[in-house]
Amino acid sequence: MSIAFLFPGQGSQVPGMLHELPDHPVIHQTIAEAGEILGMDVLRLDTEEKLQSTVSVQLCLLVAEVAAARVLLEEGVKPEMAAGHSVGAFAAAVIAGAMDFPSALTTVKRRAELMEAAYPEGYGMGVVTGLKQDKVLKLTGDAFSEDQPVFPANLNAEDQVTLAGDMRCIEYVLERAKQEGARKAFLLPVSVPSHCELLHEVSQELAGELYKIPFKNPSIPCLSNSTARALRRGEDIRHDLAVSIARSVKWHEATLLMKEMGATLFLEMPPGRVLTDLAGAALPSVRSLSLSESGIKSAVLLGKRYRNG
């Protein structure tokens, strides 16, 4: 039996997410370490007001996810693989031992700053659910223009695709998706057109930052955002962290690959249960658990049961 750790991305954040983490020495140590590296009180970043900032959101996600995963490791629950959605890939890289936590903190902060500065207004993201991927991709391709670009950003499920680009074009595609029978089609509270070629320059700048950092071969494979392949070399993880910000996230494919690699239990780090729901829909036979909902104690008990066969 194999365990996969899942690390969510932007969109899963909730106010108070750091304060809702359990009272555990490893949690406190991780938060203190983050504060020392960043030179700030990170517990001030998870207010509703602060979470309007991409920088605050991505830092809070990284800290919460690494802290929770470290508790599981401390309690003897060790994964055979790790996968992070978007910025969650940095937490996965840390837990797999490919990069250190201080480097991840400073890089994620810079990543978020670059993203915020790239498109200050007029761009964003939307999501379509209940319509097949190929149909959404066709609608997106038909609507694209150089003046009002739109791209498929996250291929989360067979019937869930997020879009990134010009807000006017996204709104048009969402309306067309509804006409075609989509269950839901709405704008996301995200001001950055992530995971599309509009962030190519950001990707190049991020690569420059990442190539200043030493990477090691991971102790467990990390699933690539941009290719949905298992990465087993530090250099490959570094490259994926750089380029994936300007490429579609192939999350559905990665989820299926983890099952092929032997995953029988998915444990999603806080906050939220987005990845748990996606895994449950794609692979009903595989057990999925959200730490935010079930708690770390339940995750430890379940993880040990799977670990002991």
Q: Is 290 a catalytic residue?
A: no
Query: Does residue 227 share a domain with residue 140?
Result: no
Domain boundary among 190, 208, 241: 190
Structure tokens at 274: 């987005």
Looking at 12, 56, 86, 288, which residue is catalytic? 86
Strand pairing category for 150-157 and 160-166: antiparallel
List the beta bridge partners of residue 265: 3, 287
> DSSP string of 20-77?
TS---HHHHHHHHHHHHHHTS-GGGTTSTTGGGSHHHHHHHHHHHHHHHHHHHHHTT-
* pLDDT of res. 189: 82
Q: Which residue has the tokens 């955002």?
A: 225
Strand-strand pairing, 123-129 and 184-188: antiparallel
Last residue of one domain, picked from the residues 170, 190, 210 = 190
Last residue of a domain, one of 138, 169, 190: 190
Closest to 79 (Cα-Cα) out of 272, 291, 284: 291
56 with 83, same domain? yes
Residue 231 sits in a domain whose CATH number is 3.40.366.10
From first to last of its 309 residues, what are the pLDDT tens digits of the chain?
899 999 999 999 999 999 999 999 999 999 999 999 999 999 999 999 999 999 999 999 999 999 999 999 999 999 999 999 999 999 999 999 999 999 999 999 999 999 999 987 899 999 999 999 999 999 999 999 999 999 999 999 999 999 999 999 999 999 999 999 999 999 998 889 999 999 999 999 999 999 999 999 999 999 999 999 999 999 999 999 999 999 999 999 999 999 999 999 999 999 999 999 999 999 999 999 999 999 999 999 999 998 776
- Is residue 195 part of the annotated active site? The answer reads yes
Range of the domain at 81: 2-118+198-307
Q: Do 118 and 201 touch, CB atoms closer than 8 A?
A: yes
Q: pTM of this prediction?
A: 0.97
User: How confident is the model at residue 308, as a pLDDT?
Assistant: 76
Q: How many domains does the chain have?
A: 2
DSSP string, 116-150: HHH--SSEEEEEEESS-HHHHHHHHHHH--SSS-E
Are 106 and 14 contained in the same domain?
yes
CA pair distance 243, 238, nearest whole angstrom: 9
Among 195, 248, 252, 292, the one annotated catalytic: 195
One domain, residues 114 and 145:
no
- Asked whether residue 270 falls in the same domain as residue 152, the answer is no
Tokens coding 218 = 């991971």
CATH of the domain at 151: 3.30.70.250
CA trace torsion 150, 151, 154, 158 (10° rounding): 100
Q: Residue 191's pLDDT is what?
A: 84
Tell whether 108 and 8 lie within a shared domain: yes
Residue with the two structure tokens 């006017």 = 168
Same domain for 96 and 241? yes
How do the residues of the chain divide into helix, strand and coil, expressed in percent and rounded to 5?
A: 50, 15, 35
Question: CA distances (Å), 6 to each of 10, 184, 238, in order?
Answer: 14, 25, 18
- Residues 176, 55: one domain? no
Q: How far is CA 89 from CA 85, 189, 250, in A?
A: 6, 21, 13
235 Cβ contact list (under 8 Å, min separation 6): 215
Distance CA 61, CA 57 (A): 6
Tell me, yes or no, whether 143 and 225 share the same domain.
no
Residues 110 and 228 in one domain: yes
For the record, the structure tokens of 220 come out as: 């467990």
